[in-house]
Amino acid sequence: MEKSVTYFRVSSTEQKQKGYSPDAQKRLLWSFAQTNRFDVDMDFEDTETAGRAGRTNFMRMLEYVRENKIKHILVEKTDRLLRNFKDYTLIEDLMKECDVTIHLVKEGVSMSKDSTSNQKFMFGIKTLMAKNFLDNLSEETKKGQIEKIECGEYPSKALLGYLNVVDPLTKKNVIVVDEKNKPLVQALFKLYVTGNHSLLSLITTVEGMGLTSNIPNGRKLNKTSTAKLLQNPFYIGYFRWNKETHKGEHERLIDPDLWQKVQDVLSGKRLNNDKKHNLIPFAFKGILTCGECQRGITAELKKGRYAYYRCTKYQTNCSQPAVKEETLMERVGVLLDWQMSDDGLAYVVAGLKQSLQEKRQWHDTAYEGMVEEKLRLKKRLDRMYEDHLDEKVSESLYLSKSKEYETRIEKLETDIAKHDRADINYYDFGHKILELAKNAKKLFEMGTSSEKQEFLRYLLSNSTLRDGIPNFTLKQPFLQIAKRSPLRERSAWGG
Ligand SMILES: [Zn+2]
């Protein structure tokens, strides 16, 4: 019997709905193993909260598979396994280097290095869609946070000088003053406002006063964190979230007059003059690594207008020269100059349809569960009302119970609406993939520098630059689309 591992993942929202327990996934995988005569060596499980990929055991699983020469990974379906392209490349490497086969049990597909390009292509599309679904969820979580913000509740980790605690009465997360660090924060502001300090001397001064040893988690104040701290309106009772300032519910540590004066001192010292550097979006920034020394490739402007890319050469004796942006642009032009053949188009459409069908299945189950629950609660509420009219239920019990049901119904209604919106985004996303695949070159050329940058991040993975020549690698499913292009002989990347 060949050795295998199982991997299953559930999100915390799914867990509350029927049919999505980790046990159900596990049973499915184990029975598959039995039928196919695999020996299950180890089970790996991750739980995920909306938008936050709990992937610790995913990484452990990859390691385990390598170390123990496991040849088979059993998962329920693609979106249980992969959350993004990084995962995808990790899995692809594993298939290539260790000859591992991935069994997508519910999809009835096994992926290995010998899979057909068609199968790899479908796999790629499903990865894209899986990722998108996660993005939607995290979008929804943000919306939940916005509701909190509007009530003055800071949705994130407390700053230095404050603590996150749970109010024992209301069970709400609240932010309270951290008495231990309060003097430190106040000293920073009081000293800095004198104008006699640089950030560095400010830090040494408070350290000299024995104040910084209080900082939690062994973090140390440095120039950047201190500058950020001094500019944060949190200390005067506000907080910033998504570029907007909101009035908070927390107590202020600094007098608003003092805070404003500190801002004046800071701006007098022009701490922000490195900002203009970030205003120029370089299309290839963060996309390439050096083909000689594997360091990052950074961008700079020469003579105020020519964009150049060069290896950071961090702690190496790399010999690579800087490269003009135009050179890279030409290469991308060639790369994206594919034509969607009818065949290619049919594949994309089929891939999208299939992924939609699979999504529908689990989505519908979740959706129906919520609608049923809502109906059930409404019936109970009605019955409760009747009982109350018949004086079987006391006024106070009726009021408290009906309130409880109403809150639960409201919550379900928002969840149902969320699913509806996620659906629309999902279709929209599929449409975008298709448009992008059809018009890649045109879309790229039309885009602004920052759009180009985003576009390239979306299309490319693991691309390198050496001797002035970029070696671009397309992500799936675009790699397959390009390969199916009748123009592919002309492209520079072989494939
Ligand atoms: Zn280099």
Instruction: For residues 238 and 266, state if they share a domain.
Output: yes
Taking a 5 Å cut-off on Cβ, the residues next to ion ligand 1 are 290, 292-293, 295, 311, 318, 320
Of 304, 325, 346, the domain-final residue: 325
Residue 167 alpha carbon to ligand 1 centre in Å: 53
Residue 337 confidence (pLDDT): 82
**What's the gap in Å between 219 CA and the centre of ligand 1?**
32
Determine the distance separating the centroid of ligand 1 and the alpha carbon of 321, expressed in angstroms: 9
Assess if residue 207 is contained within a domain: yes
261 and 310 share one domain? no
Q: Which of 293-297, 343-347, 440-444 has the lowest mean pLDDT?
A: 343-347
333-366 pLDDT, tens per residue? 888 887 777 777 777 777 777 767 766 666 677 7
Q: Is residue 66 part of a domain?
A: yes
- Does 223 have pLDDT greater than 80? yes
Report how far ligand 1's centroid is from the alpha carbon of 443 (Å).
Answer: 31
**Which domain, by its residues, includes 241?**
162-272
Residue 453 CA, ligand 1 centroid: distance in Å: 21
206 vs 89, higher pLDDT: 206
Looking at the structure, tell me whether residues 241 and 177 fall in a common domain.
yes
- Same domain assignment for residues 111 and 12: yes
Average pLDDT over the chain, rounded to an integer: 78
- Determine the pLDDT at residue 32: 92
Cα–Cα distance measured from residue 195 to residue 9, given in angstroms and rounded to the nearest whole number: 54
Within a domain: 168: yes
393 lies in a domain?
no
In the reported structure, the alpha carbon of residue 319 is separated from the centroid of ligand 1 by a whole-number distance in angstroms of 7
Contact criterion met (CB below 8 Å) for 161 and 214: no
Instruction: Using pLDDT thresholds of 50, 70 and 90, give the confidence band for residue 422.
Output: low
pLDDT in tens, 467-476: 999 999 888 7
| pLDDT-wise least confident of 4-18, 25-39, 283-297 | 4-18
Q: What is the Å distance from ligand 1's center to 306 Cα?
A: 21
**How sure is the predictor about 495, in pLDDT bands with cuts at 50, 70 and 90?**
very low
CA distances from 231 to 225, 234, 244, 276, 278 (A): 10, 9, 14, 18, 19
Q: What is the pLDDT of residue 290?
A: 92
In this structure, are 52 and 28 located in the same domain?
yes
Q: How far is the CA of 322 from the centre of ligand 1 (A)?
A: 10
CA 465 to centroid of ligand 1, rounded, Å = 9
**CA 88 / ligand 1 centre spacing (Å):** 26
255 and 284, same domain (yes or no) = no
At 66, is the pLDDT very low, low, confident or very high (cuts 50, 70, 90)?
Answer: very high
Using the mean position of ligand 1's atoms as its centre, give its distance from the Cα of residue 273 in Å: 28
Do 97 and 186 belong to one domain?
no
> How far does the centroid of ligand 1 lie from the alpha carbon of residue 355, in Å?
40
Whether residue 295 sits in one domain with residue 240: no
C-alpha 198 to ligand 1 mean position (Å): 35
Instruction: Tell me the pairing of strands 238-241 and 244-247.
Output: antiparallel
Tell me, yes or no, whether 103 and 189 share the same domain.
no
How many angstroms is it from 488 CA to the middle of ligand 1?
Answer: 30
Ligand 1 centroid distance, CA of 297 (Å): 8
- CATH code at 188? 3.90.1750.20
pLDDT at 40: 93
Q: How far is the CA of 231 from the centre of ligand 1 (A)?
A: 37
Structural domain contains residue 404: no
* 300 Cα to the center of ligand 1, angstroms: 16
Residue 279 pLDDT > 50: no
Position 271 pLDDT exceeds 70? no
**Whether residues 26 and 89 fall in one domain:** yes
Domain count, the chain: 3
Strand 469-471 versus strand 463-466 pairing type: antiparallel
Domain boundary among 115, 131, 151: 115
CATH number, residue 101:
3.40.50.1390
Domain-located, residue 250: yes
Q: Does residue 442 form part of some domain?
A: no
* Better-predicted residue by pLDDT, 245 or 109: 109
Sorted by sequence, the CB contacts under 8 Å of residue 256 that are 6+ apart come out as 236
For residue 163, the CA-to-ligand 1 centroid distance in Å is: 44
Same-domain pairing of 189 and 102: no
User: pTM of the entire structure?
Assistant: 0.43
Tell me, yes or no, whether 175 and 80 share the same domain: no
Q: Is residue 413 one of the residues assigned to a domain?
A: no
Look up tokens 């059930």; give the residue: 376
Distance from Cα 466 to the centre of ligand 1, integer Å: 8
